[in-house]
Structure 1
């Protein structure tokens, strides 16, 4: 009886494993779903669906934060659809910063390629973990927690970040508060900032009200 049960379990395991697809390259012509994009017809696939060359060039850091993030998420690299992974390139000019932000859908791993970056995160218990990182250093940022990166060196910095999701999501705290039409009175009541400062930040970041 025991042997029969083991054999039955083994058969079910093998059958379920065999039914799993090798991959599901995103068909970006169809709507996204909570479980990812529908799969592109396997007969229409080529090796190009599994290769992405968009991270070889530096991003444009001529902006307010002096930083550029070049993603290789599902929308840019359909081959990662359903695989639970993705990558991005981070370029930071001198004085560049990626402000406090979260990725609701994934943890992040940062590896420094060139330059010096001060990076850190804040736990749900409000404990702060930050460190100055150098070439070859790696730091992890747990899913959903506020974190940041600052170029703390004297030259440009380059890093690559990997995520545990093909679509990790992004919410930058400053833009969430000051780059929309949330009334100034509500922002003041929920952040304890004075109205003049809030209006100044809304003016810088493009918010209203």
Structure 2
């Protein structure tokens, strides 16, 4: 009996030791002590399940091709919790990716989710770069119709249409609110801009180039 009790205590201690906080669903959420302050939760408030209707679980915007007449020749139509409230608490989201010939979804990061991409039409060159600890190794693949590729959480990745025809893909993401950080837009388009001395030293280029890049109008294809 004592052995059984000891094993139970060890199991409970182990489960407590390896417990973790829930993943954040927005970039930050400041703690407040004033209960009269504006309330904000990690995620969205929930509708009473008894009031749910079929349309709460329905999203139709993927029916229509995205407008690829832009600088990147691509358009990403997202179905995150803000666009599709039925995803709340389900830890999943989706996106439709449309590409004109040679269109690009530029290098970016989803810092809260894993992404799985399936190609429906065309040919895409895709890739991601590992962390510094793995020597910033680049993994790339050319995908055709029906192919699937997975991008691990938090790693820089991209998709490029290498064909002379349009391409279409769908992405499945493991968070209701993946968000994203587009590398070039973030580094060169921040408001206010990052100090030029920081970027010249970090990128090992002269300040004329940094000034030029910070003056550009960085386009978001989402």
SS at 1:199's partner residue?
helix
Residue number among 163, 169, 181 corresponding to 1:171 in the alignment? 181
State the match for 2:152 in structure 1. 142
SS at 1:38's partner residue?
coil
Matches of 1:91 and 1:150 in 2, distance apart? 11
Matches of 1:75 and 1:31 in 2, distance apart? 18
Deviating beyond 4 angstroms after TM superposition, the runs of 4 or more aligned structure 1 residues are none
Does residue 154 of structure 1 match 2:164?
A: yes
RMSD (Å) for aligned C-alpha atoms: 2.0
Q: Is the 8 A contact 1:66 1:93 kept in 2?
A: yes
State the match for 1:204 in structure 2. 216
Alignment of 1:12-27 (within 5 A): none
Does residue 53 of structure 1 match 2:60?
A: yes
Q: Cα deviation per residue 1:5-32 (whole Å; 9 max; x = unaligned)?
A: 9xxxxxxxxxxxxxxxxxxxxxxxx976
Does residue 190 of structure 1 match 2:202?
A: yes
**Count of aligned positions:** 179
Mean Cα deviation higher: 193-202 or 73-82:
193-202
State the match for 2:92 in structure 1. 85
- Taking structure 2 as the reference length, what is the TM-score of the superposition? 0.76
Q: How far 1:157 sits from its partner (Å)?
A: 0.7
Q: How far 1:194 sits from its partner (Å)?
A: 2.3
State the match for 1:33 in structure 2. 41
- Taking structure 1 as the reference length, what is the TM-score of the superposition? 0.80
Return 5+ residue gaps in structure 2 as ranges. Answer: 6-37
